[in-house]
Amino acid sequence: MDQRELEKVNEKLKDLVDSAYKVGDEISRMILLINGESEGRPIWAYVSMSPSKAKEYLIKQYSEEEIELSDYGEILFSGEGETPPHEIKNEMLEKHKIQENLEEKLYEVMKDNLFDRIR
């Protein structure tokens, strides 16, 4: 396969991935537990977002730019500290079936496909 054919295949794959995100945005939401800092203090937040917004968030997160979480979705719960209180974790588990460490799992799945394309 020559370079031009490879570029065509890559473009078609990109179109397929973009189409999958559009469909995913219409039928699903993702809830991420996000940790960060505000004014030098640790914070956490559960944010409900579409798959495409999750992709945008992950890209921005690794750019080390300041992030406004409300730009990516609905903030369900947030607070100061390293982790949410057990009551909040339990509510999220019962109500939304939240998986622990979903952000890290998403990163592992996406890193080969997504980050190689943007480098």
Domain boundaries, the chain: 29-118
- Provide the pLDDT for residue 12: 82
Whether pTM > 0.75 for this model: the answer is no
If we measure between CA atoms, which residue out of 43, 33, 58 comes closest to residue 109? 58
- The Cα–Cα gap between 71 and 80 comes to 20
Distances (CA, A) of 73 to 46, 63, 79, 102: 10, 19, 16, 16
pLDDT recorded at residue 103: 64
Taking 50 as the pLDDT cut, the residues of the chain under it are: none
Query: For position 61, what pLDDT does the model report?
Result: 86
Single out the residue of 78, 96, 90 nearest to residue 37, CA to CA: 78
**pLDDT confidence of residue 5:** 84
C-alpha distances in Å from residue 15, one per residue of 22, 51, 72: 11, 16, 22
On whether the CB atoms of residues 49 and 30 are closer than 8 A, the answer is yes
In angstroms, the Cα distances linking 95 to 14, 31, 88 are: 34, 12, 10
